[in-house]
Amino acid sequence: MSQIKNYLRLIRFSHTIFAMPFALIGFCLGLFSIYHSGSRPVGRDVLFRLLLVLLCMIFARSAAMAFNRWLDLRFDAINPRTALREIPAGVISRNKALLFVLVTSAAFVFCTWWINPLCFYLSFVALAVVLGYSYTKRFTPLCHLILGIGLSLAPIGAYLAVTGSFAWLPLLFSLTVIFWVSGFDIIYALQDEEFDRAQRLYSMPSWLGKSKALKVSEILHLLSAAFVVAAGWYGHFGIWFWVGFAVFAGMLLYQHALVKPDDLSRVNLAFMTANGVASIVFAVFVVADLYLS
C-alpha cells in the first residue's frame, strides 16, 4: 500500500482534477450529439465507454508525469524545491519509474483500441505530445503552451470516443484548456525562475522575469475566457452555462489576485485550489445546461 502511495505522489494524482472535468464535458457533448441524431445507445455501453475514457485520462497523464520526473532527475536533484521528490529522494528508482511509464503508456493505447479505430490511431499522436512536452523546457519558453496542448486533448478526445468524429464545439473547449493550463503553468513556474535561469532552462519567468511572465499569463487567461464565451455562443447554451462561466472567470481573476511578482507565498493556493474549483464547478454547470435546458 505504501508503494502505491509513492507512485500516486510521483504522478501527482490529485492534479488529474484539472483536465478530467473537461474530459467529462467532451464525453457529455458527444452523448448529447448522438441523442439528438436519433440514436439511443444502451446504458451499459455508455458506462463502459465512460470507464475507458477515464482510464485513458489516468494512464496518459500518469505516463506523462512519470516520464517528466524520470527525464528531469538531474535538475530535480539539485533544485531545493524538488529534491525530495520520489526519484531524487530514492523512494522510487529511475528504472522503476521508466517501467511505470512504459506500462501506463501501453495501457493507454490498449484502452483506445477498445474505444474505436480513430482513437487508437490518434493515441500515438497524443502520447507524442504529452511525453514530448518534457523536453520542451530545454529549448523554448513556449513549453507552457505545449503542456496546455497536452491537456487540451481531454475534451476532444472524449468527444471522439463517443462519436468517432470531430466537431467545432469540443474543439472550442480544447482551446479553452490550452490557454487556461498554459496560463496557470506560468504562475507555477514563477517559483523556479532563478533556478531555471541558472540551469539554462526555458520558461516564461526565466525568459521574461516574473512581472512580464505574469502579464503573459493574464493574456492567456483572457484568451481562455474568450474561448469559453465562443463555446457558449456557438453551442447556444443557456443560463447554467453562463453561471459556470462566471465561476470559471472568477477563479481566473482570483488566482491573479493571489500571486504578485514579489510575493509567491500563495502560488500553491492559486495553482491547485483556484484551478481545481474552476474546472469542477464549470464542468458541473456545463453538463447541467446540456441536460436541463
Stretch 182-186: mean pLDDT: 96
Answer yes or no: is pLDDT of 57 > 90: yes
Extended beta strands in 206-256, E state: none
Which has the minimum average pLDDT: 2-16, 217-231, 255-269? 2-16
Place of cell 464525453: 27
pLDDT digits (tens, 9 = 90+) for 137-156: 999 999 999 999 999 999 99
| Cα R_g (the chain), whole angstroms | 19
Stretch 156-179: mean pLDDT: 96
Using left for φ > 0, alpha for ψ between -120 and 50, and beta otherwise, residue 38 falls in left
Instruction: Provide the b/e sequence for 127-146 (b: ≥16 CB within 10 Å).
Output: bebbbebbebbeeebbbbbb
Q: What is the pLDDT of residue 166?
A: 93
Answer yes or no: is pLDDT of 288 > 70: yes
Answer yes or no: is pLDDT of 271 > 80: no
pLDDT digits (tens, 9 = 90+) for 81-123: 999 899 999 999 999 999 999 999 999 999 999 999 999 999 9
Question: Is the model more confident about 60 or about 293?
Answer: 60
Answer yes or no: is pLDDT of 40 > 70: no
Whole-model pTM? 0.94
Average pLDDT, the chain: 93
Answer yes or no: is pLDDT of 12 > 80: no
Q: What is the pLDDT of residue 4?
A: 81
Q: What is the pLDDT of residue 8?
A: 76
Answer yes or no: is pLDDT of 14 > 90: no
Q: How confident is the model at residue 197 (pLDDT cuts 50, 70, 90)?
A: very high
pLDDT digits (tens, 9 = 90+) for 226-269: 999 999 999 999 999 999 999 999 999 999 999 998 888 888 87
Q: What is the pLDDT of residue 257?
A: 93
DSSP string, 58-76: HHHHHHHHHHHHHHTHHHH
Q: What is the DSSP letter of 272?
A: I
Answer yes or no: is pLDDT of 42 > 70: no
Q: How confident is the model at residue 1 (pLDDT cuts 50, 70, 90)?
A: low
Instruction: Provide the b/e sequence for 191-216 (b: ≥16 CB within 10 Å).
Output: bbbebbeeeebbbbbbbbebeebbeb
The domains of the chain, with CATH numbers, are 2-292 (1.10.357.140)
Task: Name the nearest CA neighbour of 187 among 245, 144, 146.
Answer: 144
Q: Are 44 and 100 in contact (CB under 8 A)?
A: no
Q: Are 123 and 112 in contact (CB under 8 A)?
A: yes
